[in-house]
Chains A and B, each alone.
Chain A
Amino acid sequence: MLSREGRQGLTLISPPFLYALLLLAAPLAVVVTFSFWSQNYLDLDTTLTLKNYREVWTKPIYRVLILRSLNISMLVTVFTVLLAFPMAYFLSFRVKQNKALWLFLITIPFWTSYLLRIFLWKVILGYNGVLNSALMGAGFIDEPLTFIMYNVTAVVITLAHAWAPFAILPIFVALERIDRSLLEAAEDLGDGPVRRFFRVTLPLAMPGVLASTLLVFIPTVGDFVTPRLVGGKDGLMVANLIQVYFGKANNAPLATALAVSSMLIVTSISVIIFIVGRRIGGRTR
C-alpha cells in the first residue's frame, strides 16, 4: 500500500492531474479513437479500421498539403526566430532601465484579437492596401504588387508577426541568464565582439533559440485561420482540410486520422530539432 507521504503527494497533485486528464488526455483519446472509426454517410461506424490512415498516407493531396504546411511553418519559424533574436538581444544587452516596460510593449500585438491582426495585414498587404498605395504614391512601382497577398508570403508575414512575442521571450530569458563575466572573459582572451558572439553568446542562448523554434513551429503547422484569410489557394494548409472534413464534409474519422498523422509528423520533426539543437548548444567547436 502507499506510504503516508505517497498518499499526501497524490492528494497534492490530484487537482492538476485531473485537470490535465480532462482537458488534455481525454480529448486526445477521443480524437485517436475517432481516427480508427469510419463515417458511413450520416452514421458513424464504430468498427475499428485503418481505412482512414490508409487514405491519408496514400493519396497525394494529403501529402501535398502536409508538406506545404511544414514548409510554411518552417519558413515562419526561421523568419520569426531570426527577427526575434536581435530584439531579444537588444532587450537583454542594451536596455539598462525599464526592461519590464519593454517586455510589456512586446505584448502589444496581443492586445487585439488574432482575427483583427490578420485583417490588419490584409489592409496593409492588399491590392489597394497601405503598402501598395505608399509604394505607388512614392513612385517606386507603377502597379500594385500582387506577390505579397493571397499566397505563402502573406501567410509567412502574418504568422511571423503573430508569433513574435512567443519567440522573443524564451531567447530573452536565455540571454538574461548568461553570466556577463563570461563575455568579459571571452573579450579578455582576445575575442572581438563578432567572435565572442559566435563562440559564447550564441551557444549559450541556444536553449532559448530551441524553445522559440519549437514554440513557433508546432502551433503554426496547425494554423487554419491565417491561410484561410490571406493564403489564397496556394497558401492553404493541412488544418484547412481538417476543418473542412470536420465541418461541411462531415467526415470526423478522416479528419482525426489526418490530425493524428500531422501530429506524429510534427512530433518527430520537433524531436529531431530538439536533439540537433541540443548537440549544437551543448558542444560548439
Chain B
Amino acid sequence: MSENAIIEIEDVSKSFGSVTALSGVDAIIREGEFFSLLGPSGCGKTTLLRLIAGFDEPTGGTVSIAGEPMAGKPANMRPTNMVFQSYAIFPHLSVGENVGYGLKKKKMSRQEIADEVTRALAMVDLAGYGDRAAHELSGGQRQRVALARALVMKPKVVLLDEPLSALDKKLREQMQIELRQLQKQIGITFILVTHDQEEALIMSDRIAVLFEGEIAQLDTPEALYRRPVNKRVASFIGVMNFMPATVTASSDTAMSVNIPSLGQVDLRADQLPEGLNPAAVDTIGVRPEMLTILFDESETAEREAPGEVTSASYCGDMTYYSVLLAQADEPVTISMRNTTGRSILTPGTQVRVGWGHESVVLFD
C-alpha cells in the first residue's frame, strides 16, 4: 500500500466472547513516526496494541509489519518490542540483566551484549546503573529500563502501553519531551497507547482516536484539535464550546451558517470536514482560546457578540471565564491569558466577545 508503511492494519476486529473490543479497524502506521492510539478506557486501544505485539490474535482482518502478514506469529517472532504499563522489570535480575535479557537469544558474545547494554543504558540516561537491583529503582528509572530493554533489541516498532501513567505530573511532562526527542533521534517507529489527550498531542506525529472499538479520527495533532470530525472527538480533545446553528445556504465552495448566539457567518468549503452533510448541521464548535473578551473600546475583532460574565476561574497564567452570550442558553468558556494590566473580571460584567469565522467548526 503506502510507500513507507511499517504497519498495515486492515479491517481488524477482535472479540472476547460476546464482547467486541475492536471492529473493522483500518490504519497505516508510517515508518519512523510517533503514532498514538488515544481514547477513553475500554475503547480498544490496548487491545489493538496487543494485536500488533502478538499477545493476542485478531478475530478478523490482518496486521502486517514491514509488509509481512503477522497471522499466527507469536510475540517472540515479531520485530516489535513493548514497554509495559507496569514496566514488567524482572525482579530477579539486575538492571543490566534486564536490559540484556532479549540479547541472550541473539547469537552475541558476552562482551557484545555488555557493550549493547551499556549503550542502551546511556541512551536513557542510566549509565552506570547496570549492577543495580531492579527493586532499587524509582518509578521513572524503571520506565527508562523498560525502554532501554526494548530499544536494545533494535525493533522495527516500539510499542508503549501507557508508559507514563504511573509517574507524577512533573516527571511525566519531562518524559513526554524526552521520549519524543529520543524517538526522533533514533528514528524507530513508536506506537503509544494513552488516554491522556494532552500527552498524545505533545508527543505524536499522528493520532488515532478510538471510541468503542472503532477509529473515530486519524490525523495530525493539529488537525485533530482544529478540525475534529464529530462532537465526541471535539470534546475528548481539549475543551470545545458547542452552540446550536443552522445552515442557511450552501454551495460547492461556501456555506452560510446562522449561529443565534454569535451571528451569521460564511464558511469556505475547505474548512469543512469531509463528507459533511450541510442539511444535517445543527451545531458549531469554538475552542475557548478562539474566543476573546475585548477589554476596552480600542480592541477589535473580526466579529463581536455581547455577553455577560457569569464566573471566572483564575489559574495563574490563564483565567477561564464563563460568559453567557446574549442569545444563548448555556454559557461558553473563554480562556484569556493574564497579561500585564489585564484585571480579572467579576461576574455580572457586560463584555464584548470577539471571534472569527476561521475558528468555527461544524458538526452534524
Main secondary structure of the interface of A (DSSP, over half): helix
The residue that B92 contacts in the complex, of A187, A188, A189, A203, with Cβ under 8 A, is A203
Which one of B79-87, B176-184, B351-359 is at the interface? B79-87
Restricting to A181-205, which residues have a CB under 8 Å from any CB of B?
Answer: 181-182, 184-192, 195, 199-200, 203-204
With A184-B55, A185-B84 as contacts: A191 and B90 at CB distance below 8 Å:
no
The residue that B82 contacts in the complex, of A179, A185, A190, A281, with Cβ under 8 A, is A185
Residue on A with the closest CB to B106? Answer: A190
Could you tell me if B105 and A188 are in contact, using CB atoms closer than 8 angstroms?
no
User: Residues of B contacting A181 with CB < 8 Å?
Assistant: 84-86, 88
- Name the interface size band of chain B: 20 to 34
> Smallest Cβ distance from A113 to chain B, in angstroms?
41
Restricting to B89-137, which residues have a CB under 8 Å from any CB of A?
Answer: 90-93, 97, 101-102, 105-106
- Name the interface size band of chain A: 20 to 34
Restricting to B184-235, which residues have a CB under 8 Å from any CB of A?
Answer: none
A-B residue pair count with CB separations less than 8 angstroms: 60
A145 to B341, CA, bound (A): 104
Interface 0/1 of A5-33, CB less than 8 Å to B = 00000000000000000000000000000
With A189-B81, A190-B102, A195-B105 as contacts: A184 and B90 at CB distance below 8 Å:
no
With A179-B86, A184-B55, A184-B84 as contacts: A189 and B91 at CB distance below 8 Å:
no
Main secondary structure of the interface of B (DSSP, over half): loop
A125 to B316, CA, bound (A): 84
Could you tell me if B90 and A187 are in contact, using CB atoms closer than 8 angstroms?
no
User: Residues of B contacting A199 with CB < 8 Å?
Assistant: 101
Could you tell me if A281 and B92 are in contact, using CB atoms closer than 8 angstroms?
yes
Could you tell me if A189 and B101 are in contact, using CB atoms closer than 8 angstroms?
yes
Could you tell me if A184 and B92 are in contact, using CB atoms closer than 8 angstroms?
no
**Which of B81, B86, B92, B105: most chain A Cβ within 10 A?**
B92
Could you tell me if B74 and A189 are in contact, using CB atoms closer than 8 angstroms?
no
Can you pick out 12 interface pairs between chain A and chain B where the beta carbons lie within 8 Å of each other?
Answer: A179-B88, A185-B84, A186-B90, A188-B55, A188-B80, A189-B105, A189-B149, A190-B76, A200-B90, A203-B92, A281-B92, A284-B92
Residues of A at the B interface (CB closer than 8 Å) are 179, 181-182, 184-192, 195, 199-200, 203-204, 281-285
Residues of B at the A interface (CB closer than 8 Å) are 53, 55, 74-76, 80-82, 84-86, 88, 90-93, 97, 101-102, 105-106, 149, 153
Q: Sort A-B residue pairs by CB-CB distance and give the 8 closest, nearest first.
A: A189-B102, A185-B88, A181-B88, A190-B105, A187-B75, A203-B92, A181-B84, A188-B82
A182-B90, A187-B55 known; 20 other A-B pairs, CB under 8 Å?
A179-B86, A179-B88, A181-B84, A181-B85, A181-B88, A184-B84, A187-B75, A187-B76, A188-B55, A188-B76, A189-B81, A189-B102, A189-B153, A190-B102, A190-B106, A191-B76, A192-B76, A204-B91, A281-B92, A284-B93
